[in-house]
Amino acid sequence: MTVAPYSAVYSSLAGRFVPPHGDEARVPLTDPGYLLGEGVFATMRGYDGVCFRAERHLATLVRGAATFGLALPVGVDRVMAIADEAASRTRVRDAYVRVTLARSGDPDRPALTVISRPLDAPGDEAYVHGVASAIVATRRVPPACMDPTVKTTSYAPQVIARRQAVALGIGAGEGIMLAVDGSLACGTMANLFLVKGDMLLTPPTASGCRGGVTRELVLELAARVGLTAREEMLDPSALFDADEAFFTSSRVECLPIASVGGRAVGRERTTPTEGPRHPRTAALRAALRGVVSDETTAATMSERRGIA
């Protein structure tokens, strides 16, 4: 996977957008955010310069920041506007935008940064045929240890799990993590859903999976495509009993899974007359994109993007 260079970097300490590779875009080696991982972040997808459901992403960031005794140095509306501007500066339709709040060397001035680059989204082929995956060894941190809805800059378990997935040679590089009890939890950087008949199943947050914005929306949209959504503990064998399985995140939206550990998932459809290989996943992604279009268009019309 090739990651595009950053297009924009905003620093609250500088009070403006700064060159991605300039001195003002660097973190001091003595900052607690760097040394100890005292920080939180939110990742969003910008569609034509508007970050989708930014207020929900940032609400989670603010709640997580409170666990570290941190607070945004500017208002949430201002951060939303900066994030939209960062997305616009990529000059592409689909942008990756990350907002990070971390403890700096000044206890009264936490460092807020907003960075963006073109999104490295999966190609059309992945949505048609699905991606390969595998169960990785690293287990998900349970809620009793850390609130899974908080994205901290201490991201070691997910990074290690992703490296394990890459080492297994699976094409997508997205592995499946288990909860500490051995049940299904989520992907290394995404949430996990299964379709079985007319049921849409996903592990509960008790598994350690993150109650993400895209996960929440997919649960809301289930009824629109004829599915009944349910959260429940799932044994890994459920992957191979399912009609379909897919990952969700801001980056991948709804990405079908073709195989796990080299074993096919779902019923194979090989001819055009049989229809798409992952019909419910495709229908949910189409419904999600409809909501994205409606909400980002409305946000643009309300001139949310002005940051003067």
Q: Which candidate, 198, 218, 196, 199, places its Cα nearest to that of 209?
A: 218
100 and 129 co-located in one domain: no
Instruction: State the DSSP code for 188.
Output: S
pLDDT at position 299: 74
Q: Which among 59, 88, 118 is the end of a domain?
A: 118
pLDDT at position 307: 46
Q: Which residues of the chain have pLDDT under 70?
A: 1-2, 171-172, 268-276, 301-308
pLDDT at position 303: 57
pLDDT at position 308: 37
In a domain, 2, yes or no: no
In a domain, 3, yes or no: no
* CA dist., res. 250 & res. 177, Å (int): 18
pTM value surpassing 0.75: yes
In a domain, 158, yes or no: yes
Question: Can you list the pairs that 173-177 forms with residues at least 24 positions away whose Cβ atoms lie under 8 Å?
Answer: 173/1, 174/131, 174/133, 174/247, 174/252, 174/255, 175/133, 175/134, 175/135, 175/136, 176/133, 176/134, 176/135, 176/136, 176/236, 176/239, 176/260, 177/135, 177/136, 177/138, 177/139, 177/140, 177/208
Q: Which among 58, 89, 118 is the end of a domain?
A: 118
Residue 213 sits in a domain whose CATH number is: 3.20.10.10
Residue 42 sits in a domain whose CATH number is: 3.30.470.10
Kind and range of the H or E element at 297? helix 279-301
In a domain, 1, yes or no: no
Which residues constitute the domain of residue 175?
Answer: 124-294
111 and 135 co-located in one domain: no
* CA dist., res. 239 & res. 184, Å (int): 9
145 and 283 co-located in one domain: yes
189 and 277 co-located in one domain: yes
* CA dist., res. 244 & res. 196, Å (int): 7
46 and 169 co-located in one domain: no
Query: What is the distance, to the nearest Å, from the Cα of residue 129 to the centroid of all Cα atoms in its chain?
Result: 21
Q: What is the pLDDT of residues 214-251, one digit of tens each?
A: 999 999 999 999 999 999 999 999 999 999 999 999 99
66 and 197 co-located in one domain: no
Instruction: State the DSSP code for 139.
Output: P
Q: Which among 118, 133, 157 is the end of a domain?
A: 118
* CA dist., res. 210 & res. 185, Å (int): 9
113 and 175 co-located in one domain: no
Q: Which candidate, 211, 216, 106, places its Cα nearest to that of 150?
A: 211
Question: How many residues comprise the chain?
Answer: 308
230 and 139 co-located in one domain: yes
